Structure 1
Amino acid sequence: MHAFNLQAKPVTLAERLADLAVEALIDEADLSPKPALVDRRGNGAHTDLHLGLMHASALTLWPAFKEMAEAAIEFGEVGLPLREAIGRIGREGERAMLATTGGINTHRGGIWALGLLVTSAALAPQSRAAHAVAARAARLALLDDADAPRVLSHGAQVAQRYGARGAREEAQAGFPAVIQRALPQLQRSRDAGHGEQNARLDALLAIMAQLADTCVLYRAGEPGLHAMQQGARAVLDAGGSASLAGRRRLHELDQQLIALNASPGGAADLLAACLLLDRIASGDGMIQGAF
């Protein structure tokens, strides 16, 4: 075939949703300055993670997100067959992630949260409001995948120990940290003219101010959790990340959490979910006629 006759292959709905999920993970990683998390400044409270690894991990997950969306289109409804299919795809995606990262857990929570949301969005592409996508994802999360490993993750163990709501329960409840806190704060900060990066930081802080982050509980116990929640509230109360007083508080929170080895990875996963839902709801970059 002559080169001039080649035409770009149209992007499918599943491919575009996978694009959005990966973009959300990369945007979360790049956002700076995040307290005690990997960002453009450095590794935060982590010794085994860096920004390049977070990018590589996110890109590795594109096929899994695409296959989840395709499964949703194939099955066409919330039900056990779809739940088991995306569970299998998610575990395959996790294995690919671990192969890329040398066994380091970069995005296990992101696979769960964003995978459910991508699947939900593909099920009903005309119903793209954030609360509707999250509600369908919750219905999927409530179904029991018989093939899922029964070994408790660190997050699940910590959730049981402290009576906290882990990633599984957050999804089953319809992502309240995102729907009730992060997305409203994101919009408030945008409306106030704080700029997109500051608005995203404020959304992260709104999650941190209330979430019983199992990553923080695992690494630093209840003292770390209290420091995270109180410090995040202090930043928002001081005017948010767009204000000079808020930035000072944010720097203090960053230093305090690093000293405690308390990295809010659960909040970071939910910020990525927030960014994904925001893009889906707006139809940003979506295929003409699909959303």
Structure 2
Amino acid sequence: MAGTALTEPQVCTNIATLAAEALRKEVWLTPKPGLVDSANNGSHSDMDLPMFLRSIGAITPWLHQFYRLGQQDAAQPATAMLTRIRPAGLACEQAMFSATNGINTHKGGIFSLGILCTAAGRISARQQRLTRTALCAEAAALTQGLVERELQHCRQPVTAGERLFQAHGMTGARGEVQSGFLTLRRHVLPYWWTENQPERRSLNALLRLMAFNPDTNLVSRGGLSGLHFVQDYARRLLKNGWQKEDLQAMDQALISRHLSPGGSADLLAISTVLMAFPQ
């Protein structure tokens, strides 16, 4: 019957499919300054659009699995869930690496979208309404204390994220998810509908992310000065108004500096998923 609520299997397909489609929309979106898109490979010499599409294909079945694990373990404490879904996360990463010959295309996206799909499974299993507010709150609950455990108490940094936390106090994807996607809730989602055309809406959201997200990918490549260059550039475009030609010029500016706002690209996909649900 039209207008009836989705059944649980349909919800599972919906959230996982939404996440996969959000990743595809993100990579096809053009022009994206410094990022792989349909026009060029941005600041990346080892990645291209077909590689990203292969990666998304490899990740997609695991997005459904994250949802199912959230459903199955909905009665478990939120703080126990990271341990329970970690094997699926590692297997998802391995599927990505197999599809890309060892290139990290979506590791940050796997983490954030995996948490979001797990959160959706838990909320649905409790027969609660799937909303942006509920999804962000559940994601924060699932990752409570993660920054403290994995970054603050890390004595010998190995990963780029650990090194950037020790050097600059940046928490990256861990901090964003633990905050319940605070950057998105503060700087992106409230402005989503200010643009009427879907492509321009996504590009404007990406600009807002580049303006306000403390993107660790940018700091890894260009230090704090690289981050500030991109943030200042994006804020000027938002203030003065922008057209595609402005983004193409920004693309060349970032490519010449080898800067890639990959963390903001991941958050754009998260934004697209969240905005598919009511407030």
Unaligned runs of 5+ in 1: 1-9, 241-245, 283-291
Q: Counterpart in 2 of 1:131?
A: 133
- Identify which range, 176-185 or 201-210, moves more after superposition: 176-185
C-alpha separation in 1, matches of 2:244 and 2:146: 43
Q: Counterpart in 2 of 1:26?
A: 24
2:53 is the counterpart of 1:51: no
Q: TM-score normalized by structure 2?
A: 0.87
C-alpha separation in 1, matches of 2:245 and 2:25: 23
Matches within 5 A, 1:103-252: 103-125=102-124, 126-142=128-144, 152-189=158-195, 193=196, 195-240=197-242, 246-252=243-249
The question of whether the paired residues in 2 share the 8 Å contact of 1:208 and 1:232 is answered with yes
How far off its partner does 1:163 sit?
Answer: 2.0
Q: TM-score normalized by structure 1?
A: 0.84
Using the aligned pairs only, state the percent identity.
35
C-alpha separation in 2, matches of 1:60 and 1:203: 26
C-alpha separation in 1, matches of 2:104 and 2:220: 14
- Residue in structure 2 matching 1:276, options 248, 269, 273: 273
SS of the equivalent of 2:51 reads helix
How far off its partner does 1:143 sit?
Answer: 5.3
* Cα deviation 1:187-206 (Å, max 9, x = unaligned): 222xxx3x100010000111
C-alpha separation in 2, matches of 1:137 and 1:160: 24
How far off its partner does 1:122 sit?
Answer: 1.7
Which runs of 4 or more aligned residues in structure 1 lie more than 4 Å from their structure 2 counterparts after TM superposition? none
How far off its partner does 1:131 sit?
Answer: 2.4
Q: Counterpart in 1 of 2:4?
A: none
How far off its partner does 1:253 sit?
Answer: 1.8
Q: Counterpart in 2 of 1:264?
A: 261
* Cα deviation 1:50-100 (Å, max 9, x = unaligned): 111111111111121111111111111442442212222111100111011
* Cα deviation 1:108-156 (Å, max 9, x = unaligned): 00011111111111221343221221111011012559xx9x8642133
C-alpha separation in 2, matches of 1:227 and 1:127: 41
C-alpha separation in 2, matches of 1:247 and 1:84: 44
SS of the equivalent of 1:280 reads coil
C-alpha separation in 2, matches of 1:273 and 1:101: 22
Compute the RMSD of aligned alpha carbons.
2.3
Q: Counterpart in 2 of 1:4?
A: none
AA in 1 matched with 2:211: A
- Identify which range, 31-40 or 164-173, moves more after superposition: 164-173
AA in 1 matched with 2:36: V
SS of the equivalent of 2:193 reads helix
AA in 1 matched with 2:262: G
C-alpha separation in 2, matches of 1:87 and 1:137: 15
The question of whether the paired residues in 2 share the 8 Å contact of 1:235 and 1:247 is answered with no
The question of whether the paired residues in 2 share the 8 Å contact of 1:80 and 1:144 is answered with no
Unaligned runs of 5+ in 2: 1-7
The question of whether the paired residues in 2 share the 8 Å contact of 1:29 and 1:51 is answered with yes
C-alpha separation in 1, matches of 2:59 and 2:251: 29
Q: Counterpart in 1 of 2:88?
A: 89
Matched length:
263
AA in 2 matched with 1:88: P
How far off its partner does 1:36 sit?
Answer: 0.7
